[in-house]
Chain A
Amino acid sequence: MRAPDTPVIVKGEALLAVENVSLRFGGVKALTDVSFDIRKGEVRAIIGPNGAGKTSMLNCINGFYHPSEGRITFKGETRRRMRPFEAARGGIGRTFQNVALFKGMTTLDNIMAGRFLKMRSGFFWQLLRYGPAMREEVEHRRFVEDIIDFLQIQHIRKTPVGKLPYGLQKRVELGRALAMEPELLLLDEPMAGMNLEEKEDMSRFILDVNQQYGTTIALIEHDMGVVMDLSDRVVVLEYGRKIADGTPEEVKRDQRVIDAYLGVAH
């Protein structure tokens, strides 16, 4: 974990900007006029009590929901209505609150699935296992094996993920998202339901991803301690509105955050 006095990574310009985003489902307001940005190379946390609109926010960013108002700019490009596969192709990777792996497939195949979008050779060349298709396959396989080493899941390479304990499934899901080489990685409660040891492991992996792969990370988390240690900057949502935005220290001192969140025992 990063000690408080470690210098923060040099942050680049904004990779993603959320401007005045509102999201309504019928009469229910999930998000109201939320604005913030995510800078290149940082770990950005979105926190808030249950029902604050955190997952809705992520869903807007990767195009799963379309904001009723406002706009989202990714890599300088503002899209009125982006769809999830466009987000994926554009470089936004994602994990889910409830693990969304392919349960019958092995760890290796699940992570390999993250590479399919990058494969260029056609079906028939892959079928013949010849020439460029074969070279490409070997390259992707090597990339995947690197991720497996990185996440220390060599021992479960060939295990169907449905048979793995929850903590490991979360790790495999992170691996699958990494395989897509995202520029922006969205993690929806990466540590939900984990024990302390698993949480520490996962925190370490998230920091390593950020530093080694240079991936910009936006994460939603419930566990306050974890968030404060991990993130460069934190956005706090409550009832769909932004109530605070800043470094972990600033946010921790903010009276509205304390009232809304920290004061409540969890």
Chain B
Amino acid sequence: MPSPAPQTVRRLSRHGVVIALLALILFGYLRYDNFLGTFNVLSVLRYNAMFALVSLGMAYVIMTGGIDLSVGSTAALGSVVAALLSPYGLVPGLLGGLAAGLAVGAVNALVITRLNILPFVATLATMLAASGCALLLAGNQSVSVSYETGFIELGQGDLLGFPVPAWIALAAFLAGAIALNLTAWGRTVLAVGGNEEATRLMGLPADRAKASVYLVSGALAGLAGVILAAQFGAGQPIEGVGWELFAIAAVVVGGTLLTGGVGSVGSTLAGVLLLGLIFNILNFENGLGQISLSAYWQSVVRGAFLLLVVVIQARLAGRTEEPA
């Protein structure tokens, strides 16, 4: 039996992302005025809500050992459909975006579980197809939303002093955490990622679990699209490029293994906030006027920081693992 690793190290590895997040917040608080001011905090939450939704869906997919590359263009499609339906009201816009996302998710689910196509390939194809659909529906330009029906409240509104998109994301994560940890569905999702063969042999519905995560991911991406349209006042057929990479990064930084079978909803949220805050801090840094980082340099810095967190996390996790 291996000697048990020190408790503190084990805890660090599990909560590495939370610690990095707290360190970043402390850094920002000490260095910039108004970093923790209401305006900045609420803007960060409002803007990152859509990324949070997409990342939640991605987390489930990755936990089954799959990947969903189509979330970015699904969000774009969702935003276009929502914008087109927004003149009919808030609810039609919301449901339209959700339905568009579910449709893409359903195609992913069927192709992956029925035709046994690798998730990477299947969702690469739907990524292209969904993007094409978005451009077709929008006529190759952004579609402005109706400002009369209250639809924009979904992106720009506040409820009890808190941004509506952040409420939506918060509710999704709460339900998502309970679903993962306390329902048979959530445990089956992890079981499929851990050992698909054994899951099948035990008689558990492996295919249904796999199909469901792509449906959830699609629906959440569609919802993110609705918020995108409401927040920026237009359905954006060319938005969403690279969202899938942001989501994958947030999930991985949150400690979910790309090989599946291990994962946490809470840490995924921390991962989203971490990535969002790096962006926010770079903006503040530019605002100080001492240095001026172009958007390109911001990407480089983000990437480097991301790598750093992942490497530290892998080191910590490695130390608690028994040598194979």
What residues make up the interface of A, taking CB atoms closer than 8 Å to B? 62, 64, 84-89, 94, 96, 100-105, 109, 112-114, 116-117, 119, 123, 126-127, 129, 137, 160, 162-163, 165, 176, 180
Contacts and interface: CB of A to CB of B under 8 A. Distances in A.
A65 to B, nearest CB: 12
B257 interface: yes
Interface stretch (B91-99, B192-200, B266-274): B192-200
Contacts of A113: 187-188, 191, 199, 202, 204
A101 B198 contact: yes
Given A123-B185, A127-B183, A163-B322, A100 B203 contact: no
A87 B204 CA distance: 12
Query: Nearest 10 pairs between A and B by C-beta?
Result: A88-B203, A104-B262, A102-B194, A85-B203, A100-B198, A104-B261, A126-B183, A116-B184, A84-B201, A102-B191
B136 interface: no
B203 A84 contact: yes
Interface residues of B, number: 31
B322 to A, nearest CB: 6
B201 A62 contact: yes
Contacts of A88: 201-203
Nearest to A159: B4
Given A104-B257, A126-B183, A117 B204 contact: yes
Interface of B: 1-2, 175, 178-179, 182-185, 187-188, 190-191, 193-195, 197-204, 257, 261-263, 320-322
Contacts of B178: 127, 129
20 contacts: A88-B203, A100-B195, A100-B198, A102-B198, A104-B194, A104-B262, A113-B188, A113-B199, A113-B202, A113-B204, A117-B202, A123-B185, A126-B185, A127-B178, A127-B183, A129-B178, A160-B262, A162-B321, A163-B320, A163-B322
